[in-house]
Amino acid sequence: MIVFDLPLAPPLSKCFTKERYVTSFYRKWRGIAGSELNIQRSKYKSEVKLPFDVGVTICLDLPFIALGDLDNRFKATLDLLVTHDILVDDKMKWVHGIAAAWRDYITSKRMRVTIFTREEIDGQRKLQSTVH
C-alpha cells in the first residue's frame, strides 16, 4: 500500500476551459501537488509500475462540502499520478478500481490517495469473507 497526502484536487470544471485548455487554477494545483507528491514518494523504494486499485479518500470542511461532488476529483488526481510516474497509465489495464469517501481525520481541503496492489485488495476480500 502506498499513501500520499496531497492538496485537494480541483473539480473537473475548474481544470479546463470550454475550449479544453488547461486553466491557470489547474496548472497551479498540479505544480503544488506534484511537488508534494515528489517529496513524499521518496519514502517508497521502488517505482509503481504494476496494475493497481486506487482508493482516494477526501475530506472537506462543512461549508466546502456543499460545493463539491466527491466523484469530480478523480480525473485530476489520476492524471497527476500518471504525470509523475506513480502509475503507468490510468486506463483499465493499470487501474482496476477507484473508490472515494468523505473522512473527518484528514486536514481540511486535502486528500489522501491510497494505492493498493491487486494482491492487497484480494487479501482483504478473503479476510472479510472469513469474518462474515
Tens-digit pLDDT string for the chain (132 aa): 888 999 989 988 999 999 999 999 999 999 999 999 999 988 876 555 556 667 766 666 555 555 567 788 889 999 999 999 888 888 877 787 888 777 766 667 788 888 887 777 676 656 566 655
Phi, psi of 22 (to 5 degrees): -70, 135
Q: Which residues contact 18 (CB under 8 A, 6 or more apart)?
A: none
Q: 10 Å Cβ neighbour count for 62? A: 7
- Domains of the chain in start order, with CATH, are 2-131 (3.30.1330.70)
Q: Report the alpha-carbon distance of residue 54 to residue 1 in Å, rounded.
A: 10
Q: What is the dihedral of CA 103, 107, 110, 112, to 10 degrees?
A: -50
Q: Report the alpha-carbon distance of residue 86 to residue 131 in Å, rounded.
A: 33
Q: Report the alpha-carbon distance of residue 7 to residue 33 in Å, rounded.
A: 6
What pLDDT is recorded for position 89?
83
What pLDDT is recorded for position 99?
81
What pLDDT is recorded for position 77?
92
Residue 74, Cβ density class (10 Å: 0-12 exposed, 13-18 middle, ≥19 buried): middle
* Residues 8/74, Cβ–Cβ less than 8 Å: no
Q: Report the alpha-carbon distance of residue 98 to residue 79 in Å, rounded.
A: 13
